[in-house]
Amino acid sequence: MRDYSEIIKLIEASERILIFTHANMDGDALGSAGALCRSLRQMGKQAAVLIQHPCPEYLAFLAGDFLVTEAPFEADLSVAVDMGSDGRLEGLKEAFYKAPARLCIDHHVRTEDFCEIFVVDPSAAAAGCLVYELLKTMGAPIDLETAGLLYAAVCTDTGSFRFSNTDREAMTMAGELIGMGVDSSALCTALFDSIPLCQLKLESLIIERARLIADGRGIVSWCTEEDYKACGALAEHAETGIDRLRSVRGVEAAALIKERDGAFKLSLRSKTCADVRSVASRFGGGGHLMAAGATLEMPLEEAVSRVSKALEEELSRCFGLSTESGR
Ligand SMILES: [Mn+2]
């Protein structure tokens, strides 16, 4: 049980609370921020989740009137969820620092002191796990819609309870949320089995040009704005490409370089021993041991070759001499 006493004091003393999460939101970002917001509103607070980019299409069914693109009030508290540095706020930094108090609820390794109060636990499967524990500790209301948001948070960040962060807490939480009425199958179908055909086409391009490295233990691919156009897709449709690459037999670590907003975004995933956060940090990024990312300020060709080299180095560190055996 984590210590939420400072957070609870601050929330209780605040009336107008703005919630922030990372740009290019994922299921955990939307789920944890949305759940916190809905629950705070039901406690009688004014609350909203301030976002910069529109909610991605695949998460739109979870979005509610809690998402706002302009602050509807002057906040007395800013809350950051699912982000370990203020760089991930992009254009919302000013709004975040406007409030006189700031707190952070997160499960990334903390890279910056951008708040007064932190509850950070990198061992938590999702930021949604911390929000859920906080709401229970406060005795805050969790209605069916809030429960669904929390379920989406933990379900997406654990890769449908497949990744190594899937632990007893995540499964217990999922069980409790199902006990509150969440329809797991319906939610998973909406999240994972409702993708547009253009996304599959984009995945196929990504897979087509994927290259195995380090004796098949690594895999690297990329996609560009031109690819999105060719497939009739959007940049957000490239998000699942990294999971496809990671799922290849024998692959320990996968890298996908995606053009987005005029830059190249690097996504990294691993399965057991490769520390992809250390690879991401070489490019100024961060994240988790087995899921990390960075923004690459370089031409595509250079990005592919430098990422491949960095990943190869991490894989040889991870496997040491055992690479002799091959597989
Ligand atoms: Mn997360």
Question: What's the predicted TM-score (pTM) here?
Answer: 0.89
pLDDT digits (tens, 9 = 90+) for 122-164: 999 999 999 999 999 999 999 999 999 999 999 999 999 999 9
The helix (H) or strand (E) run that includes residue 77 is strand 77-81
Looking at residue 256, the DSSP 8-state letter turns out to be: E
Residue 10 confidence (pLDDT) above 70: yes
User: pLDDT by residue (tens digit) across 54-106?
Assistant: 999 999 999 999 999 999 999 999 999 999 889 889 899 999 999 999 999 99
Query: Under a CB-based contact definition with an 8 Å cutoff, are residues 206 and 238 in contact?
Result: yes
Q: How far is the CA of 167 from the centre of ligand 1 (A)?
A: 14
Q: How far is the CA of 28 from the centre of ligand 1 (A)?
A: 5
324 alpha carbon to ligand 1 midpoint, in Å? 36
The 10s digit of each residue's pLDDT in 255-272 is 999 999 889 999 999 999
Task: Kindly report the number of other CB atoms within 10 A of residue 9's CB atom.
Answer: 11
CA 82–ligand 1 middle distance (angstroms): 5
Q: How far is the CA of 320 from the centre of ligand 1 (A)?
A: 30
Tens of pLDDT along 226-256?
Answer: 999 999 999 999 999 999 999 999 999 999 9
Q: How far is the CA of 303 from the centre of ligand 1 (A)?
A: 25
Domains of the chain: 5-192 (3.90.1640.10), 197-325 (3.10.310.30)
Ligand 1 center–CA 295 separation, angstroms: 18
The answer to whether residues 198 and 230 touch, using CB atoms and an 8 Å cutoff, is no
- What is the per-residue pLDDT for 87? 86
Q: Distance from the CA of 126 to the center of ligand 1, in angstroms?
A: 5
CA of 287 to the centre of ligand 1 (A): 9
pLDDT band at 34 (very low <50, low <70, confident <90, very high): very high
